[in-house]
Structure 1
Amino acid sequence: MSDILVVAPHPDDETFGCGGALLKARQASAKLHWLILTEMTASSGYSNERIATRECEIEAVSKAFGFQSVHRLGYETAALDVAPIGEVVKKIADIFAQVHPSDVYLPFAGDAHTDHKISFDAALSCTKWFRAPYVRRVLAYETLSETDIVRRPGGLDFIPSVYENITDWSAKKKSIIGLYGEEVGDAPFPRSLEIVDAKEKVRGAEAGCAAAEAFMLLKEVRP
Structure 2
Amino acid sequence: MQDIIIVTPHPDDETLGCGGTILKYIENGANVHWLIVTKAGDFASKEWKAKREIEIQKISAMYNFKSVYHLGFEAANLDQVADSVLVKEFSEVFQKLKPTVVYVPYPGDIHSDHKAVFDATMACTKWFRYPSVKKVLAYETLSETDFTINPDLNNFKPNIFVNISDYLERKIEIMKIYESEMSDFPFPRSEKAIKSLAYVRGAASGYEAAEAFMLLKERIE
Q: Structure 1-normalised TM-score? A: 0.98
For structure 2, the residue ranges without an aligned partner over 5 or more in a row are none
Contact 2:60 2:68 (C-alpha < 8 Å) held by counterparts: yes
Deviation at 1:156, TM superposition (A): 3.7
Deviation at 1:153, TM superposition (A): 1.6
Q: Secondary structure at the match of 1:172?
A: helix
Partner of 1:47: 45
Following the alignment from structure 2 to structure 1, what is the Cα–Cα distance between the partners of residues 76 and 191?
Answer: 24
Deviation at 1:14, TM superposition (A): 0.5
Q: 1:58 aligns with which of 35, 56, 59?
A: 56
Aligned pair count reads 221
Following the alignment from structure 2 to structure 1, what is the Cα–Cα distance between the partners of residues 154 and 125?
Answer: 21
Partner of 1:199: 197
Cα deviation 1:31-69 (Å, max 9, x = unaligned): 01000110013x2x1011100000000000000111111
Q: Structure 2-normalised TM-score? A: 0.98
Partner of 1:19: 19
Contact 2:108 2:148 (C-alpha < 8 Å) held by counterparts: no
Q: Secondary structure at the match of 1:190?
A: coil
Q: Secondary structure at the match of 1:105?
A: strand
Following the alignment from structure 2 to structure 1, what is the Cα–Cα distance between the partners of residues 112 and 203?
Answer: 31
For structure 1, the residue ranges without an aligned partner over 5 or more in a row are none
Runs of 4+ in 1 over 4 A off after TM superposition: none
Deviation at 1:155, TM superposition (A): 1.8
Partner of 1:154: 152
Deviation at 1:154, TM superposition (A): 1.1
1:2 has 2:2 as partner: yes
Following the alignment from structure 2 to structure 1, what is the Cα–Cα distance between the partners of residues 183 and 118?
Answer: 26
Partner of 1:71: 69
Calculate percent identity across the aligned residue pairs.
48
Partner of 1:219: 217
What are the residue-to-residue correspondences of 1:122-201 with 2, within 5 Å? 122-201=120-199
Following the alignment from structure 1 to structure 2, what is the Cα–Cα distance between the partners of residues 204 and 65?
Answer: 22
Following the alignment from structure 1 to structure 2, what is the Cα–Cα distance between the partners of residues 152 and 82?
Answer: 21
The residue type equivalent to 1:113 in the other structure is H
1:107 has 2:116 as partner: no
Following the alignment from structure 2 to structure 1, what is the Cα–Cα distance between the partners of residues 77 and 119?
Answer: 15
Following the alignment from structure 2 to structure 1, what is the Cα–Cα distance between the partners of residues 175 and 204?
Answer: 23
Contact 1:35 1:70 (C-alpha < 8 Å) held by counterparts: yes
Q: Secondary structure at the match of 1:195?
A: helix
Contact 1:109 1:156 (C-alpha < 8 Å) held by counterparts: no
Partner of 2:91: 93
